[in-house]
């Protein structure tokens, strides 16, 4: 396997460079899945039907994210024009609200989550099919939204015993799929509503946005199956399975680059192959194989193992920097980023954690032995 000491370097670099709300949320999730997996939705998120009472000092992920969460505004963090990106911080805020070392009588975190979700669901523009916009100023659907919002809705709905919110988490996935889905299974990146002009648009199959969507739906599915509504949401669970399968199968079909990495745009051979989207897509395959092994069997896990091996060859053993990676702030840039992609760093940690958990649960995966000299930027 990839040495944990190297994964530690990858994670540290993600922490050092994250500077946007969705990056904070993703680094939090990567740290939780890697360091404290027992508290994630893939394990035992609701012991006794409740969010666990934790000491911030004992949970590295909470120590990391706490300084970035605001409790005195309508949003948990600056959204940079996005209503959904700060929503990615709802789950850590809810965990902080249950902290054993924070005051109980004046719990600002619960109020902050309530304000964030009200801002998202009540004031954000809606697409013509009622999908919540990823952007504040106009109705625009970005596949990235699926990692930020639906997992938070499902988690909060479980915590507050609100089955309507739990089901809304899946409905939003379906509404996004209705607009962004393609006949090949994977999704286009961005669609703007009719009449929205002169703003960012992208009808390409950006690998990272597809991975965002697939990974987000895996988290929602895991939440539903650990919630009190597992039997009442069978239809929603099946919808999540099929949508996620479409993205993964489409990515696998488009996987033809000789590096073993997925291309920045899945279906366009003129694009460079890169680590970030590959890592999160493979992480999702491992998570889905654990959640639904009958549907995501050996074909998916064998593929995910080859992606893990490919990713392992693109980690600098001295710095922990992964490359080549897309510039996530300019995904249409024709050359790999010269620098660090914080979310890409986190995706590699998520991949390692997903592989490790799947390996432990099934005992099916061989140790991934990677010679130290191969752990370098290619």
Per-residue model confidence as pLDDT tens digits over 123-141: 999 999 999 999 999 999 9
DSSP character for 300? H
Q: C-alpha distances in angstroms, 307 versus 10, 191, 313?
A: 17, 29, 10
Question: Which pLDDT score, from 0 to 100, does residue 375 have?
Answer: 41
Under the banding of pLDDT at 50, 70 and 90, the label for residue 376 is very low
Residue 375, phi-psi category: left (phi > 0), alpha (psi -120 to 50), beta (remainder):
beta
Per-residue pLDDT reduced to its tens digit, 268-291: 999 999 999 999 999 999 999 999
pTM above 0.85, yes or no: yes
3-state SS, 215-274, equals HHHHHHHHHHHHCCCCCCCHHHHHHHHHHHHHHHHHHHHCCCCCCCCCECECCCCCCCEC
Summarised one tens digit per residue, pLDDT across range 184-212 is: 999 999 999 999 999 999 999 999 999 99
Provide φ and ψ at 187, rounded to 5°.
Answer: -105, 155
Alpha-carbon gap, residue 264 to 275, rounded angstroms: 9
141: enclosing H helix or E strand: strand 140-142
Residue range 4-27: mean pLDDT, rounded: 99
pLDDT-derived band at 371, boundaries 50, 70, 90: very low
State the DSSP string of 7-23. HHHHHHHHHHH--SHHH
Tokens of 308: 């893990």
Output the pLDDT for position 225: 98
CATH 1.50.10.10 fits 4-374, yes or no: yes
Instruction: With a cut of 90, say whether residue 312 has pLDDT above it.
Output: yes
- pLDDT band at residue 363, thresholds of 50, 70 and 90? confident
């Amino acid at each position: 396997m990839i040495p944990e000491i190297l994964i530690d370097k990858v994670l540290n670099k993600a922490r050092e460079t994250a500077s946007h709300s969705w990056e904070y949320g993703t680094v939090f999730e990567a740290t939780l899945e890697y360091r404290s997996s027992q508290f994630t939705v893939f394990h035992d998120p609701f012991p006794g039907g409740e969010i666990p009472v934790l000491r911030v000092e004992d949970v590295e992920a909470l120590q990391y994210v706490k300084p970035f969460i605001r409790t005195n505004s309508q949003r948990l963090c600056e959204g940079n024009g996005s209503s959904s990106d700060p929503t990615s911080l709802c789950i850590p805020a809810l965990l902080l609200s249950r902290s054993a070392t924070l005051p109980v009588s004046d719990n600002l975190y619960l109020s902050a989550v309530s304000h964030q979700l009200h801002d998202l669901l009540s004031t954000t523009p809606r697409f013509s099919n009622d999908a919540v916009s990823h952007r504040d100023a106009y109705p625009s659907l970005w596949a990235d939204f699926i990692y930020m919002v639906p997992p938070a809705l499902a988690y909060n709905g479980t915590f507050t015993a609100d089955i309507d919110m739990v089901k809304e988490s899946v409905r939003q996935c379906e509404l996004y799929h209705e607009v962004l889905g393609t006949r090949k299974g994977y999704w286009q990146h961005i669609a703007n509503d009719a009449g929205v002009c002169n703003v960012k648009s992208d009808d390409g199959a950006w690998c990272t946005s597809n991975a965002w969507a697939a990974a987000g739906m895996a988290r929602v599915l895991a939440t539903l199956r650990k919630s009190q509504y597992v039997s009442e949401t069978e239809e929603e669970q099946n919808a999540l399975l099929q949508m996620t399968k479409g993205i993964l199968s489409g990515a696998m079909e488009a996987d033809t680059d000789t590096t073993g990495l997925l291309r920045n745009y899945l279906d366009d051979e003129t694009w460079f192959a890169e680590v970030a989207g590959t890592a999160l897509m493979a992480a999702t395959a491992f998570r889905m194989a654990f959640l639904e092994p009958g549907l995501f069997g050996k074909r998916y896990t064998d593929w995910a193992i080859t992606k893990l091996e490919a990713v392992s060859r693109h980690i600098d053993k001295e710095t922990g920097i992964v490359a080549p990676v897309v510039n996530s702030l300019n995904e249409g840039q024709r050359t790999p980023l010269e620098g660090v992609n914080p979310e890409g760093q986190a995706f590699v940690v998520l991949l390692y954690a997903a592989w490790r958990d799947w390996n432990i649960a099934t005992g099916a995966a061989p140790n991934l032995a990677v010679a130290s000299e191969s752990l370098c930027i290619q």
